[in-house]
Homo-oligomer: A and B are copies of this chain.
């Protein structure tokens, strides 16, 4: 990570501010970058991630579109066909669903359809996940829908530095990127000098080293996983935290190396467990590390229910305690037997 010049401690930057700066630098740096969507203009987005951009760059570069997500993604596809690099915003996760056909049937497939002749450098920004007390449809974690769709890159930052660096990289990338922003972390801060260039987005990163168990997390759960690891350290258990960053296509090497070393793993996400992205991680890691595993890879995630109303979301969302409870179930006693029929 780039250090501040002159030795001054870098300023604290929130993830929202880091994303805003990334957009600003991308728009300033490349005349082909346009930013549009619902309320991203003068308002600066409902989360203010595009704050100030409309004023700075004008309506040609940053603008409000009609209120229609399929049209937003569809027009972005057309723009990318002609050489622009659109960055569009879906206001909330569930409001990206109207665009599902455009995303799955066109955005993901056009490069392939045309044997590479028509790449689509489009970034679809989606604030996702819960924890902000949002009413219905404002807190979905929709990564599993996108990660099962070949042709899409699906990335999600867990820190402000990554938010900046990965968004810049996503905009520069010639593949379509679904850029999932952990909305509850928009206000999380980190001391970092911007611009910053972190690891390439397609490489998972070990956020904390450990020897006893690997905790696999991404997006909003990175912070939670680190919290759990910190608490466990106090109790003498050494947890390694892997932040996946690019969920698809996945580079599983860091993951496999870590789990084969620790012999135990828990994967955590906000989305419902059933059919969630964690299933892929668990299945893959198990396949590759089977003989190194002391216990099955466990998953900690949301309940298999529609996202609850604000006053119940606390029961739904994984927290450090639930993660540690899963870690405790990783068969630390040699005589452990669980599961099986009946």
Contacts of A97 in B (CB 8 A): 100-101, 104-105
Q: Which parts of A133-187 form the interface with B (CB within 8 Å)?
A: 136-137, 144-145, 147-148, 150-151
Q: Chain B residues with Cβ under 8 A from A298's Cβ?
A: 287
**A232 interface residue (CB < 8 Å to B):** no
* Chain B residues closer than 8 Å to A274, beta-carbon distance: 147-148, 150, 248-250, 280
- Picked from B112, B275, B280, the residue with its CB within 8 Å of the CB of A147 is B275
Contact A271 B148 (CB under 8 A): yes
Whole-angstrom distance between the Cβ of A55 and the nearest chain B Cβ: 33
Q: Which residues of the other chain, B, contact A279 by a CB distance below 8 angstroms?
A: 275, 279-280, 282-284
Chain A 241-283 interface mask (CB, 8 Å, partner B; 1/0)? 0000000111001001100110000000001101111111011
**Segment with Cβ contacts to B, from A1-9, A56-64, A216-224, A288-296:** A288-296
Binds B, one of A46-54, A80-88, A334-342: A334-342
CB–CB B137/A105 < 8 A: yes
Q: With contacts A144-B144, A274-B280 known, is A340 near B288, CB below 8 A?
A: yes
Task: Report the Cα distance A340→B285, complex, angstroms.
Answer: 9
Q: Which residue of B lies closest to A308 (CB)?
A: B112
Asked if residues A275 and B272 are in contact (CB atoms below 8 Å), the reply is no
A297 contacts B306, C-beta separation under 8 Å = no
A305 touches B145 (CB 8 A): no
* Interface pair A108/B306, CB less than 8 Å apart: yes
Within the assembled complex, what's the spacing in Å between the Cα atoms of A104 and B94?
A: 9
Q: Does residue A24 face the partner (Cβ distance < 8 Å to B)?
A: no
Is A290 within 8 A of B283, CB to CB? Answer: no
Q: Which chain B residue lies CB-closest to A341?
A: B257
A297 to B279, CA, bound (A): 12
Considering the chains assembled together, what is the distance between the CA atoms of A293 and B339 in angstroms? 12
CB-defined contacts of A256 to chain B, threshold 8 Å: 339-341
- State whether A295 touches B290 (Cβ < 8 A): yes
Is the C-beta of A304 less than 8 angstroms from some C-beta in chain B? yes
Residues of B within 8 A of A287 (CB): 282, 296-299, 339
Given A136-B113, A305-B112, A148–B275 Cβ distance below 8 Å?
Answer: yes
Within 8 A of B (CB), among A282-325: 282-284, 286-293, 295-299, 304-306
Partner of A306, one of B109, B280, B342: B109
The CA of A197 and the CA of B276, in the complex, are separated in Å by 33
Q: Which residue of B lies closest to A331 (CB)?
A: B290
Q: Does A98 contact B (CB under 8 A)?
A: yes
Least Cβ–Cβ distance between A143 and chain B, in angstroms: 9
In the complex, what distance in Å separates the CA atom of A256 from the CA atom of B105?
A: 36
A282: contacting residue among B101, B282, B292, CB under 8 A: B282
Query: Does the CB pair B275–A299 fall under 8 Å?
Result: no
Q: Is the CB of B283 within 8 A of A299?
A: yes
User: Do the beta carbons of B144 and A337 come within 8 Å of each other?
Assistant: no
- Interface residue ranges of A213-233 to B (CB < 8 Å): none
Q: Which residues of chain A in 101-146 are interfacial with respect to chain B, using CB atoms and an 8 Å cutoff? A: 101, 104-105, 108-109, 112-113, 136-137, 144-145
- CB<8 Å pairs between A and B, sample of 7: A150-B306, A249-B274, A256-B340, A257-B342, A282-B286, A287-B296, A291-B339
